[in-house]
A and B are shown apart, each in its own frame.
Chain A
Amino acid sequence: MTDFLQNNGFLLVTMVQQALLAMSLYYPLMCGQLSLASPGFYALGGYVAAIIGTIEYFAPWRDSLGWVIFPLEWLAAGIISGFLAVLVGIPALRLRGIYLALATIAFVEILRVVCLNLEITGGAIGIFGVPQLFESRWSYIWTFGPLLMLMLFFSYRLDRSRVGRAFKAIREDELAADAMGINPTRYKVLAFVIGAVLAGVVGAMSAPFLNTWNARQGTFDASIAYLAYVLIGGSRSMWGPLLGGMMLSALPEILRPLKDSRLIINGFVLVFASIYMPKGIAGAVGNLKNFTTRILGIGRSEK
């Protein structure tokens, strides 16, 4: 078991991390907003942690606070991401559908180019030697794991709360929701900010995990990867991003025996999954459950 964790610890933690990033995209999608901004906030959060962890200015803090500095980094990353999300979100969320997606792509690219050129972010080279929280890769499950549990609990509660119902009402019909007294802009910005804060915190946890941070962390490719997680996993329940994030981030590793052609296969998987599983893995599992329920006549079928 220890051997297994030693060898696969990095992959397992990465799977949890990617599932969290998939969830950061799921919240805006809950109210029908396709935002691809997560990699931007993820990169931002990582820079916050990497900067606090390395520059001279924070050295006395690091010495006196010890490991407590890490939760403070997460907090700082969450606050900064949330603040920026409000600034970007209020104007951008007036746009719908593909326009919002394009605006968030632009946001990610602008942030990337800025980080590539600023001195404090280490330019093209990035920031090296970010202090580690744990000695082994696997141990980082103790930061990402509880966060995932927390987010799953949060999503479960959110789904059944007033806010969650408002999200879904906006997703189904924004004008009707507006007429019912739900303020669409407020809830859309809220969903966007929740996703941004989550992505920022995950970034802040990831900088120590990866030890180094650079502008390549937040790219268009990442936007698409997270979108694929959610859509392949299933965008209608919180299990979708969880399953999609874990399975798709493990896929290139599972396909490793295929060597160089594995990324080609990965591409085909995306194409066929979107054609044959339009409701995602979670939807397909739901269908299977309904099917067995009907056949066996036990349990309660879900719509």
Chain B
Amino acid sequence: MTTAQFLQNLLNGISIGSVYAIFALGYTLVFSILGIINFAHGAIFTLGAYFTYTLAVGEFGINGLLSGLTLDLQIPFALSLLIGSVLAGMVGVLLERLAFKPLRTRGADSLLALVSSLGVALVIVNAIQYLVGAEIYTFPSQVYGDIKPAMMFEVAGQSVVVRTVQVIIFAVCMVILTLLGYVISFTRIGKALQAVAENQTTASLLGISVDKIILVTFFMSGFLGGLAGTLVGTSFGIAGPYFGVTYGLKGLAVIVLGGLGSVPGAVLGGIVIGLAEAFVPPDYSAYKEAVAFAFLFIVLLVRPQGLLGRSMIQKV
């Protein structure tokens, strides 16, 4: 591998890895509070991309209930991204109220939360298909403003292509990660979140409204999922209502690799899997999709607590 190829892979890996990281954080937040995996997270990822598309572009294709509709909202992309992600966060709150809370209050088997969240995922994905069809939607190439789509660098006689989208994705992810780190570590709500994650009963005895914290968590989770969906959408297009499924599953690999419930772990896991995928040799690129799952499988066998997770204690 030449230096140029190495740099190119590194760049591609870090860019996609940072999206995996913020997406996987959505899983992690919910898992650390409730100890369950929200299987509708992939659907919220998809939904976020569609929300932003509707706000920023708003041109629909020939299928679905909204076929041929053109919404000319003229909302700047940055604002659309924000509103779209907030809407996705609100869907996350709705999801918690519809699919998780009723099960919690009834003290139902935690496996059922899997089924009910998947039910919601099914509703979301098919509602999208019902409304706007299964076609591919792409953001216009100038969505991030009037800047060059790519830059070329010469490294040791070979060129490295830096796509502007990649840089923006990485920058947005870093801003979000810093912000999230600040909120979790230094604000009242973040401290409350940590307390609830540690022990719900004790937290509620200390006067923390557990129910409110759960809602905040689902909002943040949905926001991160929706944001990740939009960022991927601007880079590769929205490949139909099912495009979140693969990311949903890869996200699971990310959180297991980093350690279930660990926030820094999710970030590290995302970057590691992004890089591992980028460094798959071109001859084996068809197997790229399996890399994340190979990681998942091996980590579970060798170190089930993940890279940065706490080791599991067997309770009698």
Q: How far is the CA of A139 from the CA of B116 in the complex (A)?
A: 36
- The answer, among A110, A116, A221, A264, for a CB contact under 8 Å with B130, is A264
> What are the residues of chain A within 8 A of B36 when measuring CB–CB?
98
CA distance A99 to B300 in the complex (A): 7
With A and B bound together, what is the CA distance between A22 and B291 in angstroms?
A: 29
Query: In the complex the two chains form, what is the Cα distance from A228 to B121 in whole Å?
Result: 13
- Please give, as numbers and ranges, the residues of chain A lying within 8 Å of B287 by CB-CB distance: 113-114, 117
* Contact of B290 with A113 in the complex, beta carbons under 8 Å: yes
| Contact of A275 with B245 in the complex, beta carbons under 8 Å | no
In chain A, positions 205-248 with a C-beta closer than 8 Å to chain B are 220-221, 224, 227-228, 231-232, 235
| Residue among B130, B289, B293, B301 facing the most chain A CB atoms (10 A cut-off) | B293
Assess the A103–B297 pair: CB atoms within 8 A. Answer: yes
Does A266 sit at the interface, judged by CB under 8 A? yes
Q: With a CB–CB cut-off of 8 A, which chain A residues contact B249?
A: 105, 109, 220
Question: Are A261 and B130 in contact (CB-based, < 8 A)?
Answer: yes
Q: Which of A231, A235, A275 has the most CB of B within 10 A?
A: A275
Map CB proximity to A onto B89-120 as digits: 1 under 8 Å, 0 otherwise: 00000000011001100101101111110111
Do A275 and B297 form a contact, CB below 8 Å, given A109-B249, A175-B316, A270-B115?
Answer: no
Contact B102 A275 (CB under 8 A): yes
From A95, A105, A274, name the one whose CB has the most chain B CB atoms within 10 angstroms: A274
Residue of A nearest to B109 (CB): A278
The reply on B39 being an interface residue by CB < 8 A is yes
- Let me know if A107 is at the binding interface, CB within 8 A: yes
Contact of B300 among A95, A224, A260 (CB under 8 A): A95
Pairwise interchain contact A117-B286, C-beta atoms closer than 8 A? yes
B99 CB contacts on chain A under 8 angstroms: 271
B49 at the interface (CB under 8 A from A): no
User: When the two chains form their complex, are residues A102 and B300 in contact, meaning their CB atoms are under 8 A apart?
Assistant: yes
| Further contacts, 4 of them, CB under 8 A, given A106-B294, A110-B294 | A268-B123, A270-B118, A275-B103, A275-B108
Cα–Cα distance between A271 and B97 once the two chains are bound (Å):
12
Within the assembled complex, what's the spacing in Å between the Cα atoms of A221 and B241?
A: 14
Given contacts A113-B289, A113-B290, contact A228 B300 (CB under 8 A): no
Q: Is B297 a contact partner of A110 (Cβ separation < 8 A)? A: yes
Q: Which B residues are closer than 8 A to A by beta carbons?
A: 36-37, 39, 98-99, 102-103, 106, 108-109, 111-116, 118-124, 126-127, 129-130, 245, 249, 252-253, 256, 260, 286-287, 289-290, 293-294, 296-297, 300-301, 304, 314, 316
Contacts of B297 on A, CB cut-off 8 Å? 103, 106-107, 110
Q: Is the CB of B116 within 8 A of A270?
A: yes
Q: Kindly identify which residue among B116, B289, B290, B296 contacts A103, using a CB–CB cutoff of 8 Å.
A: B296
Interface size on A, residues (CB 8 A): 42
Q: Report the bound CA distance from A273 to B123 in whole Å.
A: 14
Please tell me if the beta carbons of A275 and B116 are within 8 angstroms of each other in the complex: yes
B116 A106 Cβ-Cβ under 8 A: no
Closest 10 CB pairs of A and B: A270-B119, A267-B122, A267-B123, A271-B119, A113-B290, A263-B126, A106-B293, A106-B296, A274-B116, A274-B112
User: Taking each of B108, B111, B127, B314, which has the highest tally of chain A beta carbons within 10 Å of its own beta carbon?
Assistant: B111
Residues of B within 8 Å of A107, CB to CB, are 293, 297
Q: Which of B37, B256, B297, B301 has the most CB of A within 10 A?
A: B297
How far, in whole Å, are A107 and B39 apart by their CA atoms in the complex? 18
Point out the residues of chain A lying under 8 angstroms from B129, CB to CB. Answer: 260, 263
Q: CA of A116 to CA of B285 in the docked complex: distance in angstroms?
A: 12
0/1 string, A83-125, CB within 8 A of B gives 1 = 0000000011011001101110111011001101100000000
Across the interface, A269 reaches (CB within 8 A) one of B119, B127, B286, namely: B119
Whether B119 and A274, one on each chain, are in contact in the complex, defined by CB atoms closer than 8 angstroms, is yes
Chain B residue, CB-CB nearest to A266: B122
Q: A231 CA to B111 CA in the complex, in Å?
A: 8
- Neighbouring A residues of B301 by C-beta, 8 Å: 91-92, 94, 103
Residues of A within 8 Å of B106, CB to CB, are 275, 278
Bound form: Cα–Cα A231–B301 in Å: 27
What does the 1/0 interface line of A249-272 toward B look like (CB < 8 Å)? 000000000001101101111110
- When chains A and B are docked, how far (Å) is the Cα of A270 from the Cα of B40? 13
- Docked CA distance A261–B131 (Å): 10
- Are A224 and B290 neighbours in the complex by a CB distance under 8 Å? no
Task: Known A113-B290, A116-B286; judge A231-B253 contact (CB<8 A).
Answer: no
Query: Are A274 and B290 in touch, CB under 8 angstroms?
Result: no
State whether the Cβ of A31 lies closer than 8 Å to any Cβ in chain B. no
- Whether a CB of chain B sits under 8 angstroms from the CB of A13 is no
Contact assessment for B300 and A103 in the assembled complex, using a CB-CB cutoff below 8 Å: yes
Q: A246 CA to B124 CA in the complex, in Å?
A: 25
Which residues of chain B are within 8 angstroms of A228 by Cβ–Cβ distance? 115, 118-119
Q: How long is the Cα–Cα vector from A232 to B39 in the complex, in angstroms?
A: 17
Q: How distant is the Cα of A263 from the Cα of B130 in the complex, in angstroms?
A: 9
User: Is A34 an interface position by the 8 A CB rule?
Assistant: yes
Name the distance in Å between A202's Cβ and chain B's nearest Cβ.
Answer: 22
Give the residue among A227, A264, A267 with the most B Cβ atoms within 10 A.
A267
Name which residue of chain B comes closest to A173, CB basis.
B316
Q: Are A102 and B256 in contact (CB under 8 A)?
A: yes
**11 contacting pairs across A/B (C-beta < 8 A):** A109-B289, A113-B289, A114-B287, A117-B286, A220-B249, A267-B119, A267-B122, A268-B123, A274-B103, A275-B116, A278-B103
A271 and B316 form a contact (CB under 8 A): no
Question: Known contacts being A105-B252, A224-B39, A261-B130, is A278 close to B122, with CB within 8 Å?
Answer: no
CB-CB under 8 A from B39, the residues of chain A are: 224
Interface pair A92/B300, CB less than 8 Å apart: yes
